[in-house]
Chains A and B, each alone.
Chain A
Amino acid sequence: MTPENLTPTRRDLIALGAGLAGGAALTRYAGLEGGRAAGGIGAGRTRTGREEYVWLSANRTLPLFVANDHPALEIAGQELGVRVTIAGPDTVDIPGLVAAIEQTAARRPTGMMVVGWEAHALIPAINKAVDAGIPVICVDGDVPGSKRAAFVGTNWYDIGVKQAEAMLAALGGRRGKVALLGLIDQAIDQQAFDGFRSVALKAGLTVMEPQHDKGNQAEATRVAAAILQAHGDLVGMAGFDSESGPGMGQAIKEASLAGRVVATCVEAEAQHVRLLKEGVLTACVRQKRALFTYLGAKVLDELAFPRVSFTADDKALGIHPVAEMYYTGSFLVTRENAHIAAKG
């Protein structure tokens, strides 16, 4: 049937239907900017079906993000029935991240989760977004001192503690120097170094000054190779970014020091697992990365549409209906459990 076959009456009916549908759509759209209901259980802004949660990070296409954080964000978006988007620069460009936060806030999404790459530099942009009424949380890396409502991520101090404990267990009674590799200018790595030292120093290990591997495997290999040559009494090596493990593993393997130098690291992707199985790496601490964005989206949803309240006006008192810290935990991957505990 073509439109020409329709009688004027039927055309009018179709037009009326289209008009009603359009009106409904406009109403839904108007609801996007709509006000909030009064406080109380189940109170919050009205859902419009156009909610959007934005994940913002520097180096947004980092393979680790692409493999873990982005897919989990998509799952959370589907479960919540909201749109999820990814924004930020492709490199470790902090001014670019600040600009992305400000530009995203300007279009007023329902919520934003920011990876706190450089805590101090991000505070003004995050605070501005919060002041504009947008729920903002930090994931993966925190921005303490900002007005963000919550942090979802790993406790990096614990990552350091876990690595040190795994290293001591593998060393048995051996003692000597231990090298640390990572992104030494990042706050989370510094927390991990502190955690590592807190255990290792007490146990009698000599912890050397951390070396920068720039989050790059080739660089980590170069740096680790030089350290291995410089310190004949090295008994261990601990890596704190995703590329440290494969890099130092390669260097240890090429120096034929597998087993003599105990190596621990973070993450357990396919390459880490191969080195675990070869006996080059001793243990990998794997973060529950997928929870960062999965839980993050749910926390944002709770902030945007609170189900619980504590006072007559939580918002006025600055009380959030979510916890402030969500530590997602981590677990140890070793040669023995790698076949089930690791990805890839």
Chain B
Amino acid sequence: MTRYRRELDLLVAVYLTVIVFAILYPYSFFSLGNLRAILNNLAVDGILAVGMMMLMIAGMFDLSVGSMMSLAGVVTGWLLAKSGWPVGAAVAAGLGVAALGGLVNGLLVARARVNALIATLGTLGIFQGIAILIAGPSIANLPESFARLGQTELLNLQFPVFFMLGLAVIFHVLLTHSRFFRQYYYVGSNPKAARLSAMNVERLQILGFTLMGLIAGLAGLCFAARVGTSVSNAGVGAELRVITAVILGGASLTGGKGSIPGALIGVVFMALVNNALIIARVSSYWQGIMVGLILVLAVALDSYRSREKPT
């Protein structure tokens, strides 16, 4: 169980948050409507967090996920609304563009040896710019058949929630049971040793970024379908929200640590805290301070406990 210590700690924090706010605000916080709204609203971040956790386990991160998400949404929207493509083809094209963007990031980092921070900071601007050039502010009135992907409900929850859960299960299984994907832990812990062990680190990095692109594309399509509009700045700021949640969920900036359940619990915890602070009528200024404090405290506590652990 120590392997999932951070995840369990966070799960306890989630549980306590729910209990405390359910007692304080039984009708507004602990209502089915609110819990449903929280889940529907965290799905996009949750999808992104799955990919980001995989990258961070491998010791990398991607700042361009938000703009990649926007780009995939507007490419799909443009093909649907302006070119009359069928939904399947437009969705495939949107996902393809996002995967291509991820591949570019991977090649920049693994082959051209550009630092991931610089490479993805650069592509963040490029993808965002292209999205705005294609769509202007937005492309509205997307076909109903496409919107259904984001608006159809099952058990009172929208489809993106299930996409998130499905993706999380797939990547959890891959990262824990697949020999190939488990290499990400070794690459993240010690890339030099991984290379000496005959692991193809570059190929793993390129694949990691490409999958991240694909996942960001899925997040972009979910958001566009949910609101029936391709918004060209839909993903602005998503990267920092997601990295924050993933770090809370057990990832480390130096790599080699973390799990997919941790990423999801991190996203859920952040969403719960943000929701609870609004319901508790905490000023917007204080909300930012409190979320920042929680992140710093969680990471500091984890770091302290790691030092305490006997070797």
Contact present for A255 and B233 (CB under 8 Å): no
Binds B, one of A25-33, A190-198, A267-275: A267-275
**How many A residues have CB within 8 A of the partner chain?**
43
Q: Contact partner of A63 among B138, B140, B283, CB < 8 A?
A: B138
Is A64 located at the chain interface by the 8 A CB criterion?
Answer: yes
A-B contact count (CB 8 A): 119
Partner-A contacts on B (CB < 8 A): 25, 27-29, 31, 33-34, 37-38, 40-41, 44, 125, 128-129, 132, 135-141, 223, 226-229, 231-234, 236-238, 271, 274-275, 278-279, 281, 283-285, 287-288
Q: What distance in Å separates the Cβ of A185 from its nearest Cβ neighbour in chain B?
A: 8
Chain B residues near A64 (CB, 8 Å)? 137
Measured CA separation A63–B132 after assembly (Å)? 6
Measured CA separation A66–B233 after assembly (Å)? 12
Q: What distance in Å separates the Cβ of A118 from its nearest Cβ neighbour in chain B?
A: 16
Contact present for A271 and B227 (CB under 8 Å): yes
Chain A residues near B238 (CB, 8 Å)? 218
Q: What distance in Å separates the Cβ of B239 from its nearest Cβ neighbour in chain A?
A: 12
Contact present for B278 and A232 (CB under 8 Å): no
Q: Contact partner of B25 among A63, A67, A230, A344, CB < 8 A?
A: A230
Contact present for A274 and B141 (CB under 8 Å): yes
Is A227 located at the chain interface by the 8 A CB criterion?
Answer: yes
Partner-B contacts on A (CB < 8 A): 61-64, 66-67, 90, 184, 208-212, 214-219, 221-223, 225-232, 242-243, 246, 250-251, 254-255, 269-271, 273-274, 344
Chain B residues near A344 (CB, 8 Å)? 140
Contact present for B236 and A270 (CB under 8 Å): no
Measured CA separation A214–B234 after assembly (Å)? 12
Contact present for B279 and A271 (CB under 8 Å): no
Measured CA separation A254–B288 after assembly (Å)? 26
Known: A90-B128, A184-B284, A212-B287. A229 touches B37 (CB 8 A): yes
Q: What distance in Å separates the Cβ of A248 from its nearest Cβ neighbour in chain B?
A: 12
Q: Contact partner of A66 among B137, B228, B281, CB < 8 A?
A: B137
Chain B residues near A269 (CB, 8 Å)? 137-138, 140
Contact present for B132 and A221 (CB under 8 Å): no
Measured CA separation A228–B29 after assembly (Å)? 11
Contact present for B27 and A221 (CB under 8 Å): no
Measured CA separation A92–B40 after assembly (Å)? 28
Measured CA separation A223–B288 after assembly (Å)? 13
Which of chain B's residues has its CB closest to A62's CB?
A: B233
- 28 intermolecular pairs with C-beta atoms under 8 Å apart: A61-B129, A61-B132, A62-B233, A63-B136, A63-B231, A63-B232, A184-B285, A212-B284, A215-B236, A216-B236, A217-B227, A217-B233, A217-B234, A222-B41, A222-B274, A222-B275, A225-B40, A225-B41, A225-B275, A226-B278, A226-B279, A227-B278, A229-B37, A229-B279, A230-B29, A230-B281, A254-B40, A269-B138
Contact present for A229 and B34 (CB under 8 Å): yes
Q: What distance in Å separates the Cβ of B25 from its nearest Cβ neighbour in chain A?
A: 7
Which of chain A's residues has its CB closest to B287's CB?
A: A212
Majority secondary structure, B binding face: helix
Known: A214-B237, A274-B228. A229 touches B33 (CB 8 A): yes
Which of chain A's residues has its CB closest to B34's CB?
A: A229
Q: A217-B233, A229-B275 are in contact. List 12 more A-B contacts (CB 8 A).
A: A66-B132, A210-B284, A216-B236, A217-B234, A219-B237, A225-B41, A226-B274, A226-B278, A242-B137, A271-B138, A271-B140, A274-B140
Contact present for A230 and B135 (CB under 8 Å): no
Contact present for B275 and A226 (CB under 8 Å): yes
* 9 shortest interchain CB distances as A-B pairs: A63-B137, A270-B140, A212-B284, A229-B34, A226-B278, A225-B37, A230-B279, A230-B28, A222-B41
Chain A residues near B27 (CB, 8 Å)? 232
Measured CA separation A227–B29 after assembly (Å)? 10
Contact present for B129 and A271 (CB under 8 Å): no
Measured CA separation A230–B27 after assembly (Å)? 8
Chain B residues near A243 (CB, 8 Å)? 233
Contact present for B138 and A230 (CB under 8 Å): no
Chain B residues near A254 (CB, 8 Å)? 37, 40
Chain A residues near B33 (CB, 8 Å)? 229, 255
Which of chain A's residues has its CB closest to B45's CB?
A: A218
Chain B residues near A242 (CB, 8 Å)? 137
Chain B residues near A214 (CB, 8 Å)? 237
Known: A62-B233, A229-B33. A270 touches B141 (CB 8 A): yes
Which of chain A's residues has its CB closest to B35's CB?
A: A229
Measured CA separation A221–B139 after assembly (Å)? 18
Measured CA separation A46–B130 after assembly (Å)? 40
Most interface-central of A212, A229, A230, A231 (chain B CB within 10 A):
A229
Measured CA separation A246–B227 after assembly (Å)? 8
Q: What distance in Å separates the Cβ of A89 from its nearest Cβ neighbour in chain B?
A: 10
Chain A residues near B129 (CB, 8 Å)? 61, 90
Contact present for B233 and A216 (CB under 8 Å): yes
Chain A residues near B223 (CB, 8 Å)? 218
Contact present for B34 and A226 (CB under 8 Å): yes
Contact present for B237 and A211 (CB under 8 Å): no
Q: What distance in Å separates the Cβ of B309 from its nearest Cβ neighbour in chain A?
A: 37
Which of chain B's residues has its CB closest to A219's CB?
A: B237
Chain A residues near B271 (CB, 8 Å)? 222
Chain A residues near B132 (CB, 8 Å)? 61, 63, 66
Q: What distance in Å separates the Cβ of B109 from its nearest Cβ neighbour in chain A?
A: 22
Chain A residues near B231 (CB, 8 Å)? 63, 217, 246, 271
Most interface-central of A208, A226, A243, A271 (chain B CB within 10 A):
A226
Which of chain A's residues has its CB closest to B237's CB?
A: A216
Measured CA separation A278–B125 after assembly (Å)? 34
Chain A residues near B31 (CB, 8 Å)? 229
Q: What distance in Å separates the Cβ of B129 from its nearest Cβ neighbour in chain A?
A: 6
Contact present for B233 and A270 (CB under 8 Å): no
Which of chain B's residues has its CB closest to A246's CB?
A: B227
Chain A residues near B128 (CB, 8 Å)? 61, 90
